[in-house]
Amino acid sequence: MRLLKIIGKRFSRNRLSVIGAVIVLLLITVSLLAPFISPYDPTAIDVYNVLSPPGKSHLLGTDDLGRDLLSRIIWGSRVSLKVGFVAVGIAIMIGIVIGSVAGFYGRRVDAILMRFVDIMLAFPTFFLILAVIAILEPNIFTIMAVIGVTSWMDVARLVRAEFLTLKERDFVDAARAIGINNTRLIFRHILPNALSPVFVAATFGVGGAILIESGLSFLGLGVQPPDPSWGNILTAGKDNIEIAWWLSLYPGLAILITVLSYNLVGEGLRDALDPRLWEAERD
Amino acid sequence: MIPLIFGITLITFIVIHLAPGSPVEVQTEMSLKVSAQAKENLKKLYGLDKPLHIQYVDWLKRFMKLDFGKSFVDGRKVIDKIIERIPITLTINILSLILIFLVAIPVGILSATRQYSLFDKLSTVFVFVGFSTPTFWLALLLMILFGVNMGILPISGIQSIDVSEMGPFDRLIDWIKHLIMPVGVSAFGGIAGLSRYSRSSMLEVIRQDYIKTAKAKGLPESVVVFRHAFRNALMPIVTILGLSVPGLIGGGVIFETIFAIPGMGQLFYSSTMSRDYPTIMGILVIGAILTLFGNLIADISYAMVDPRVRVRK
């Protein structure tokens, strides 16, 4: 508990990170409350108000089918949130298993698994993702899975590095001495000590996953219309680029602010969790 | 590197064979008249009637000869389709690497030597915004600003329609005009990343004792910064530059599609849309190998800037 307090104190010292955290909470609230706060039905077509600029009745204007942009952006935040968290969840699980097994067992196992990581890293990420999507049906579930399966490598490397130092420590010998099996030793004893870089990577990962999702949806390979996602609203923005600037500006701002907030939180967490900076706090 | 290439081909092969329908069905699903016999023949043609591991070995053998088969879309050889796309993609990538290098490193050095100054704070803000900006959105905004509102830059393609009537000089200007936005957009994220990185790398070096010594013996600051600090800070920077190659190549899918640039990324996008598996496989492998080359070049330049690496070998 004391540790949490210290971390909280260190985190709150970074003003920008606190602002980021507040915006993240706000965005989560907005996406949970989407049905209640969005002024219009995000898929309701209104042929009399096609591409109307921002104004009183439509705060951020409408798209090429007369759908309210603000409502679509609010509902789109659900997509980003879901994709961000699920994709990162998948990436972390794979990364933790591969990283801890490689770090714990070392030698051949380590060499083989890390080669695998190198191979995965050699593919331009977007190429690999696109290839898988070409095979499967492009929808939100595919996207989550594909982003998760192609972005675990950093986590694996971080966890492995932690394991390499942690397994030499006395508590590991102590646990071995009382006859604990390896699985329990890895996941119950060593892993909890290796998690802080994972938390940081996860926070940055959410932002990254949101960026990739919006890019894929923009290309028409992600969330399919009429379901709104920030990326596919921008596709409409591109199609109407010469007449409707608002369709390009606002969804992108939403992406920028969201990703920026997650990155700021990640930065704050990194500083707050850095044990090298703790020594001074203890006195 | 050889085992890596082997692994790359294996993963590519596995990814493509995750496909629920075989390539034969993709090709024949449009025409219902294709008889079962004809399907069998097609399967034989692609070797799909053989067990998987033999298919892989066959594919690998053809891959050694750079034979990726023929495109489902237009029946042309995949390798020809890719090779004609490589120059423009490489040009844009190299230009943006140069741009990243030229902008990010001075920014990083300046922020490090003037830590917590106004410039440092501004560049930090830029870095965070740069990390968080979707490049395709940036491309859209630039297109609206320079292409639609100001009308000074073309928003698609790599040459104007009337390019054949231009003299060589105008042609060059035309080409540059078409490349400004794509190169800028593709370099944007890299500039943010690398300037942050060179800042912290520089800060690390500046704290060392030998920098204090150099300052103490009265050397001018510019000499300390560029001769003593910068050369040591450069090493990690070079590594990062090599690591950014896959991101640049992969990012090409988005900005090449937006700006209608006929490069590898755009080919990959259109192949994805038409489920042109042979082309997808080909680009996936070539893209990964280009990445490995990027890493190799980074390793070599690493040895060039760091004499210790050379000595060890």
Q: Which residue of A has its CA nearest to B144?
A: A241
| In chain A, % of residues over pLDDT 90 | 29
For the ranges A269-278, B10-19, B126-135, B262-271, the lowest mean pLDDT is seen at: A269-278
Q: Is the pLDDT of residue A101 over 50?
A: yes
- Closest residue by Cα to residue A120 from A134, A99, A103: A99
Instruction: Tell me if chain B has a CB within 8 Å of the CB of A142.
Output: no
| A-B C-beta contacts closer than 8 Å | 141
Consecutive H or E run containing B126? helix B118-132
Q: Is the pLDDT of residue B75 over 80?
A: no
Look over chain A and give the mean of its residue pLDDT values, rounded to a whole number: 86
Q: Is the pLDDT of residue B4 over 90?
A: no
Confidence at residue B284, expressed as pLDDT on a 0 to 100 scale: 86
List the single residue in A118, A124, A249 with the smallest CB-CB distance to B250: A124
Q: Give the residue from B4, B256, B272 with the most A CB atoms within 10 Å of its CB, the best one to mutate.
A: B272
Q: Is the pLDDT of residue B28 over 60?
A: no
Residue A116 token pair: 């695998």
List the single residue in A133, A263, A264 with the smallest CB-CB distance to B272: A133
ipTM, two decimals, is 0.83
Chain A residues whose CB is inside 8 A of the B141 CB are: 248-249, 252
Distance, CA of B142 to CA of B182 (rounded, Å): 10
Distance, CA of B233 to CA of B207 (rounded, Å): 12
> Phi first, then psi: what are they for B64, rounded to 5°?
-60, -35
> Which of A28-32, B242-246, B255-259 has the highest mean predicted lDDT (pLDDT)?
A28-32
- This prediction has a pTM of 0.86
Instruction: Please give the residue that has the higher pLDDT: either B130 or B41.
Output: B130
CA atoms within 13 A on the CB side of A185: 22
Distance, CA of A117 to CA of B76 (rounded, Å): 34
Record: contact B254-A218, CB cut-off 8 A: yes
Residue A210 burial (CB count, 10 A): 29
Instruction: Tell me if chain B has a CB within 8 Å of the CB of A112.
Output: no
User: A62 has which bridge partners?
Assistant: A68
**Angle at CA of residue B107, ends B105 and B108, nearest 5°:** 65
In the three-class reduction of DSSP (H, G, I as helix; E, B as strand; rest coil), residue B77 is classed as strand
Residue A9 token pair: 């104190």
**Range 239-268 of B in CB contact (< 8 A) with A:** 246-247, 249-251, 253-254, 257-258, 268
Record: contact A260-B129, CB cut-off 8 A: yes
Please, which pLDDT band fits residue A283 given cuts at 50, 70 and 90?
A: very low
Distance, CA of B237 to CA of A250 (rounded, Å): 35
Q: Is the pLDDT of residue B121 over 60?
A: yes
Record: contact B132-A256, CB cut-off 8 A: yes
Helix, strand and coil percent figures for chain A, each rounded to 5: 75, 0, 25
A160, A114 contact by CB (below 8 A): yes
Instruction: Tell me if chain B has a CB within 8 Å of the CB of A117.
Output: no
> A246 to chain B nearest CA, in Å?
10
Average pLDDT over residues A65-70: 83
DSSP letter (8 states) at residue B144: I
> B105 to chain A nearest CA, in Å?
22
Distance, CA of B154 to CA of B152 (rounded, Å): 7
- Closest residue by Cα to residue A156 from A221, A231, A209, A97: A97
Record: contact B4-A134, CB cut-off 8 A: no
**Range 166-185 of B in CB contact (< 8 A) with A:** none
Instruction: Calculate Rg over the CA atoms of chain A.
Output: 22
B225, B109 contact by CB (below 8 A): yes
